[in-house]
Structures are given as structure tokens and as C-alpha cells.
Amino acid sequence: MDNHNEFLREITLRICSSLNIEESLRSTFEYLREHVPLDVLALFIIDERLGAIRHIAHAFENGAMLPDEIIPLPEGMLEKIAARNFSAPFIVDPREAGIFRPLMPLVKLEGKTDLIVPLRLNGVLLGGLTLRAGGEGRYSDKQVELLGYIAKPFAIALANALAHEEVLRYQAILLDDKRFLNRELHDGAADEIIGGNTGLRNVMEMVSQVAPLNNMVLLLGETGTGKEMIANAIHFSSPRKDGPFIKVNCGALPDNLIDSELFGHERGAFTGAVAGSRGRFERADGGTIFLDEIGELPPSAQVRLLRVLQNHEVERVGGKRPIPVNIRVIAATHRNLQSMMTEGSFREDLWYRLSGFPIVVPPVRQRKEDVPALTRHFVAVKSKELGMAVPPSIAPGALLRLMEYDWPGNVRELENLVERELIRHRSGSLTFDTILPREVREKIPLNTDNDHQLYPLNLDAAMAVHMREILKLAKGKIHGPGGAAELLGMNPNTLRWRLDKLGISYRRRDRGNKE
């Protein structure tokens, strides 16, 4: 008995010596092999979530063959194990395997002897300890009895290892979420949609209608029209605004990683999957997921996406049980999904699922009244990014030039053009005189040192010319969306005072008398 006490004491000290279960198991292995035959010592749990035996840690003699990290259990095996109520150590005999017979091809027991010590804590079976030795019949009854004493300290060590693993998992989740949210989340509620009262007025009305609901939304429009900003507006105007807002560019995901990125994977699901990983849908739980360029998804991912939309649950790659998710889906594309559906490259049932509430975001050429406000916004933002203390002014006539251009690249092209102009003109007014197409520059030329007749030299006269042009552009409208005051960035009352001072007629009655 004294020997037993000394044996148990040493085992307990070694197995509980470190939070790193691999280190403590290795120390225990070195001591244990002095008392019993031992080539491999493996600690495992019965993972109900995976429906498998999952090995937590190994210690082994060099050259020994290790058991697989994950051994899937046949249907009904979990119930059979629970019903047997294992508590005492036992030797696995391939000839009399009983309920374990279906596992024999997986555990690779030929020419070896396995002794299993069930590990229970508070009556609950957590898993077990496997001792493996080369050859058959390596363990005696006395050794089996001796190893029964170590069940309790190993059960405590296993529970601590699982708790530590859970802490590390939650730490990884929090770090993962922090990276995603830092990169993708911003307070979209504070960002005003430029053109929301003018060219995007109809779009924003639809946003206000659908945002409080939980409907799926499909954003349609050319590349660079600002579909992501509309998705931001929907999320941050919805009851989900305090939840995550996860953005996914479906066209940027490699084909071999799409399933793993979107739906997640379990540990050991494929080569390199050393740990389980949540997909984008799981990260969006309680919030919104924005699937940009949905038309780029391959057919296999479309099938899995449809299942998520229908059942509100995801199944990880390598997983056996669905995971429920509470998400709102906003999709966007610049492609014609109906044409793709006819061609067979986009699923018809997925199209009908997504297109319940479509919103078409118009291109810039159909809302040119927004160009001045967009230009001023990008000048202010890009100036700050480039380290300019004061944003440069915009030369007279430059905004008219920009409004004459059709902007095939939409808002993104305008943003890039403003950035290039700021880099070229670190001082002085912005003229956009070389980066717009020639036909636009010639249609509305700017005043230069060699041409003094385009604008009068007198300031009031030059202002009068410019304001008349703006009034024509605004069709005589002073205030409100698309009015001359908004285009000039002035208060309407200030503009009226200045027009009166310059003697410019702006009242409809006065213009009618002059005509």
C-alpha cells in the first residue's frame, strides 16, 4: 500500500505540474514506463459535438505509431458507451472487442496491447487514458489494478486541460473578432450618405423602409457606385446595429478556401487545419453579413449558402452537426444574375431567395448633381490622409467640368481622380485640367495665365459669371436638393443676398419679365 501511495503521489505531482498538458503528460510518461510496459500514453475525450474520440495530448517512445487525432464514432456508439457505464480500467482485446469492434480498423491495434483507463469526474465520463505497448498480452492483472489508482488525478488533469483549452478558444475568438471588427466595423451610423437627399433620395427611402426589418436585401448596380455604403446604412439603421457587421468579397476568396472561410472548419478537417475555425457566418451571429460580388460564388458554395438562408444554420467543413446562426444577409453584385441564371452559372432558387427586396444603386452619370458634394468630401478626406493641414480650394469652373464627365468608374473613379489631383497639386487650386478627358476640358475651359477672357479679372464680375452658370445648371433652383446653394456650398439666404448684391435675377417672376 505504501508503494501504491508513493506511486500515486508521484503520478499526481507530474500530471498536475503544468497547464501545458503535453509537458505534464511527457513527464508522467517517463515515470510510468518505469513501472509498466509503455510505448504510447494518450489522453482523449469523447467529443459529442464532433461525434468522435478526440485525442488531447500524446507522449510516446520514438518510432511508436500514434493513434489518429480524431477517430469518428459509428452511429449509436455514444449511446452504447454511456449505457455501459465504464469505470474500471480494461484491456482492449481485438478478438473480443464487443461494442468497440467497429473501431478496430481505426485504432490500428495489430501486434499491440491497449489498456484503457476511463476518466470520470463527478460521475460524468470525460474521456480516458490509453496506455499502448508493443506485442500482445503485455499487461497483467496487477498492473491493471495499479493503474486504476491514477484515474482520479488524470481526470482532474483532463478537466483542467479542457478548461484551459476553452479559455484559449475564447481568447482566440475575441482576438479574431477584434481583428475583424477593427478592420471591417466602423460607425456607419455617423457617416452621412452623400447624395442621400438628391441623386440617392429614392435609394435612401428604400433603405429606411427595409432597415428596421430582417429581410434579405440585394443591392444591384455598377462597380464603384457605393453599394457597400448602402449596406452600411441598412445595418446601422437596423435593430442589429450593435451586432457585428461582417463584409465578404466573394470574388476575392480562393476557390479552395471558400467553404472554410464562409462556413468554418473543424480541427483535422483537412491538411493544415490544426485548430477549429469559425467561418464568416458564425462571426456575423447576431448581426449582419454583407456578401459583396455574390455572382462570383462557385456552384458548390451557392448550394451551401442556400442551405444557410433556408435553415439559418451552418455546417463547418469536417463537422457533423449544424450550428444555428441568427444573421441578416445583404448581398450585392454588379453582374446580371438573371442572365447568369439562364446560362446555368447561378442557381435559380438562390436568386429567388436573395431578390426579395432589390435596391438598384444608380451610377454617377445618372446623379451628376451629387458630383460637387462628392468632390468636396474626397478633397477633405484625401487631404487629411496626405498630411495636408488645410485642404486646397477648387478652381472656378472645375466642378462644372467634373459634372460634364460620365464617370464610367463611378464614385471610385472620382475618389481616385481627386487623390491624383491632390498629389499633383500640393499647393494652389485644384483644376483637374490634365486628368479629365480632353473633350470635357475643352467643353468647359478654365481661366489661365494666357487666357484672361474666360473669366473677368474683376472678382465680383467673375463671381457673377460663375453664379449664373450654377443657376443654369440648377435650373433656377436656389435651395433644397440639387439647388444652387448646395452646389456652391453656401447657405441659401447668403446666396440670395450675394445674388441681389451682384444684380443677378433669380426669382422666377423676374426671369419671366426679362424673357
Could you tell me if residue 449 is left (phi over 0), alpha (psi between -120 and 50 degrees) or otherwise beta?
alpha
The model's pTM: 0.56
Higher pLDDT, 240 or 459: 240
Contact status, residue 364 vs residue 411, Cβ threshold 8 Å: yes
The amino acid at residue 273 is: A
Please give the biggest Cα pair distance in the chain: 119
Provide the percentage of residues in the chain whose pLDDT is more than 90: 24
pLDDT band at 514 (very low <50, low <70, confident <90, very high): very low
Contact status, residue 495 vs residue 485, Cβ threshold 8 Å: yes
Stated as kind and residue range, the H or E segment containing 467 is helix 459-473
Q: Residue 191 carries which DSSP code?
A: S
pLDDT digits (tens, 9 = 90+) for 137-174: 888 888 888 888 888 888 888 888 888 777 877 777 77
pLDDT at 302 over 50: yes
Stated as kind and residue range, the H or E segment containing 309 is helix 299-311
pLDDT band at 271 (very low <50, low <70, confident <90, very high): low
Contact status, residue 224 vs residue 237, Cβ threshold 8 Å: no
Q: Considering the domain 185-362, what is its CATH architecture?
A: 3-Layer(aba) Sandwich (3.40)
pLDDT at 9 over 80: yes
| Nearby residues of 285 by Cβ (< 8 Å), 6 or more positions away | 243, 244, 325, 326, 327
Stated as kind and residue range, the H or E segment containing 115 is strand 112-121
CA distances from 20 to 58, 157, 164 (A): 12, 10, 9
The amino acid at residue 95 is: R
pLDDT band at 219 (very low <50, low <70, confident <90, very high): very high
**pLDDT (0 to 100) of residue 335:** 92
Which listed CATH number (1.10.3720.10, 3.40.50.300, 3.30.450.40, 1.10.3210.10) goes with 2-164?
3.30.450.40
**pLDDT (0 to 100) of residue 268:** 67
pLDDT digits (tens, 9 = 90+) for 78-117: 777 777 777 788 888 766 656 677 777 777 777 788 888 9
What fold is seen in the domain 369-438? Helicase, Ruva Protein; domain 3 (1.10.8)
Question: How far does CA 510 lie from the centroid of its chain?
Answer: 58
pLDDT at 2 over 60: no
**pLDDT (0 to 100) of residue 292:** 94
- Range with lowest mean pLDDT among 128-142, 263-277, 403-417: 263-277
Provide the percentage of residues in the chain whose pLDDT is more than 70: 85
Average pLDDT over residues 222-238: 92
pLDDT digits (tens, 9 = 90+) for 58-76: 888 876 777 777 888 877 7
Sketch the domain layout of the chain as residue ranges: 2-164, 185-362, 369-438, 456-515
d(CA 127, CA 42): 11
pLDDT at 453 over 60: no
Stated as kind and residue range, the H or E segment containing 82 is helix 77-84
The amino acid at residue 103 is: L
Which three three-digit cell numbers place residue 307? 442551405
Which three three-digit cell numbers place residue 409? 468608374
Question: How far does CA 47 lie from the centroid of its chain?
Answer: 28
